[in-house]
Chain A
Amino acid sequence: AQRVTQPEKLLSVFKGAPVELKCNYSYSGSPELFWYVQYSRQRLQLLLRHISRESIKGFTADLNKGETSFHLKKPFAQEEDSAMYYCALSVEGSNYKLTFGKGTLLTVNP
C-alpha cells in the first residue's frame, strides 16, 4: 500500500528565511502528488499539484522519483504562510483516493 511521510511535525522559521517542508512517499508505480494547506480557522484546500508545475503563493514543489520525494519550498517565508501543510498522494486504480501524510505545522515568526 502507498504511504506518505512528513518527517517534521513542527517547523519554525523567521520571516524572510527560506522554508522547505519535506514529503517522502512509498509507491512502486507513478503517483500523483499534492500539497494541501489549512490556515487557521479556514478549510483545508489544495495548494498545488506536481503535474501543474506551477508556483502558488511563492511555493514550488518538484517530484523527485529517484528519491521518492515531493518537498515544498519557498525562498522567502511570510507570516501569512503559517499553517498546517499536508502532502498527499493518489494512484491510478484507487478511484483516485488521496492518501495524506500526518502534516507539518509551519510557523513563520516576525
Chain B
Amino acid sequence: DVKVTQSSRYLVKRTGEKVFLECVQDMDHENMFWYRQDPGLGLRLIYFSYDVKMKEKGDIPEGYSVSREKKERFSLILESASTNQTSMYLCASSLPGKAADTQYFGPGTRLTVL
C-alpha cells in the first residue's frame, strides 16, 4: 500500500516567513508532485520532479521553489510567504512513464498565511 505522508496537516505562518512543506513517500516512486487545491480552482500543479535533483515547473510556480535531494522526499519552499498562498497543498507520487498518471496523494497540508 503506497504511503505518502506530509509533515503537517495544519500550518499557520506570517507574511514574509520562509515556509517548508515536506513530503515523503515509501514506494520508491520516481515522480513526485506538488499541487495546491483551492475551491473553485481545482488542483493546480506547482512543481514536479521525475528524479533526484531534477525538477520541472508546473502551471503556477511563481513564489515557490522545490528541493529533491533524496528519492523519497520532495520539499516545497515558500521563500517569502504571502496571504495569497493560503491554501491546501497536496503532494503526490507516481511511477515513471505510462504509470505516471496514477498518482498517489498525501493527506494535504492546510497552510494559512496571516
Number of interface residues of A (CB under 8 A): 21
In chain B, positions 3-56 with a C-beta closer than 8 Å to chain A are 4, 31, 33, 35, 40-45, 48, 50, 56
Q: B70 at the A/B interface (Cβ < 8 Å)?
A: no
CB <8 Å contact, A95 and B56: yes
Q: A20 at the A/B interface (Cβ < 8 Å)?
A: no
Q: A46 at the A/B interface (Cβ < 8 Å)?
A: yes
Number of interface residues of B (CB under 8 A): 29
Distance in angstroms between the alpha carbons of A97 and B98 in the assembled complex: 10
Distance in angstroms between the alpha carbons of A59 and B94 in the assembled complex: 24
CB <8 Å contact, A43 and B105: yes
Q: B78 at the A/B interface (Cβ < 8 Å)?
A: no
> From DSSP, what is the main secondary structure of chain B's interface residues?
strand
Q: A15 at the A/B interface (Cβ < 8 Å)?
A: no
In chain A, positions 1-57 with a C-beta closer than 8 Å to chain B are 6, 9, 32, 34, 43-46, 49
A102 with B105: in contact, given A44-B90, A90-B100, A96-B97 (CB under 8 Å)?
no
In the complex, what's the smallest C-beta–C-beta distance from B31 to chain A, in angstroms? 8
CB <8 Å contact, B101 and A98: yes
In chain A, positions 43-78 with a C-beta closer than 8 Å to chain B are 43-46, 49
**Which B residues contact A (CB, under 8 angstroms)?**
4, 31, 33, 35, 40-45, 48, 50, 56, 58, 90, 92, 94, 97-108
